[in-house]
Homo-oligomer: A and B are copies of this chain.
Amino acid sequence: MTLVLNDDDVARLVTMAECIDVVEAAYRDLGLGLAVNAPRRDTFLPSSRPEAYYSFKTIEGGLERLGVMAQRINSDLITYPAVDGVRRRVKVPNAPGGRYVGLVFLYSTDTLELLAIITDGHLQRLRVAATTAVGARYLARPDARTLALFGSGWQAEAAAWAIAAVRPLERIRIFSPTPEHRASLARRLDGHLAARVMASSTPEEALGGADIIATATNAQQPVVLGAGVAAGTHLTCITTLEFDDEAWRRCGVIVTSSPPGGYENYRSGGLAVREVLSDRDRRDGAEAGRFELYRDKIHLLSDLLVERAPGRTDPGQITLLDKSWGLGIEFAAVGKLVYDRAQAAGAGHQLPGDWFTQVSHP
């Protein structure tokens, strides 16, 4: 049997706290040599819209302990418009009904079967935020109570939930450039978390007294300046360049889910949007340069979890969790949890397993 599950199924079947635990276990497996990841790979084709291009993104990973291999794909139309003076990478919902296409395929390494096809919208947020939380669990000061959150999208919301699951937050201050967006997220979170959640009208206001600073934006340039970061703060970002170089310089220890590099892309020759793609290349180069510059204090999250790398050694240290590059094992871990729960609950669309297997030797 092959299950087809959607975002609502995922939201109903698993909690953020459970996702944090399975993602932590997956990174520990990786540290123990019991997991495999294949780096992200993008394939680009021109689109019929001159300002946009088609992007097919894949990422894969498997876990020995759970006996699963996961592959996540995104079939996207990409543009890079300037929003509030900042260039952003924006996916266009070009599927029928104004929808997006991202899917997680989960396979059994034992029976080989396609166990499930899961839309990746909610699962994606869970796995990114869960990794952020694993970092905060091991790197933030135990007495951290105040979170400054930059960004007001769904990923920012998930980051707040996730960090609140590993530290008993009392205050969350949110900054994002659009007042309605930050106010709206503050209202949503305020009713559901124990912390008091407020929108801040300036970045400086959000940063005041913060023990943890989380960025979850799609900005292509720094949103937090290191000069404004207090000693002892834990920083956590989803793209390397959200914190400026000064922030990285001031860190005592930097932990990354995965270093840049290993990323591959392939382009069809007819691609008419070279300018946009070279912008992407410049960003990739900037990230790699940052990692090279600070390599002596950068460690892998998987090493931290098996005590091969140091965590925070001093309450005054600034620490950073960089969650720029995803790993397939995050999808394997959360995907398997979702699948097990769906099986137990009889959730999703159940398709005959033999639709996706064959007698012929492929």
Contacts and interface: CB of A to CB of B under 8 A. Distances in A.
Interface residues of A, number: 79
Interface stretch (A29-37, A174-182, A237-245): A29-37
Contacts of A353: 95-96
Contacts of A33: 268-270
Given A56-B71, A58-B60, A357 B99 contact: yes
A358 B6 contact: yes
A112 B36 contact: no
Given A34-B268, A355-B6, A361-B91, A101 B112 contact: yes
A264 interface: yes
A112 B75 contact: yes
B121 A361 contact: yes
Contacts of A100: 112, 357-362
Given A119-B358, A121-B360, 8 more contacts: A7-B359, A33-B270, A43-B69, A45-B69, A56-B69, A97-B357, A100-B358, A117-B356
Interface of A: 4, 6-7, 32-38, 41, 43-48, 54, 56, 58, 60-62, 64, 69, 71, 73-77, 91, 93-103, 105, 107-114, 117, 119-122, 124-125, 153-154, 264, 266-270, 349, 351, 353-362
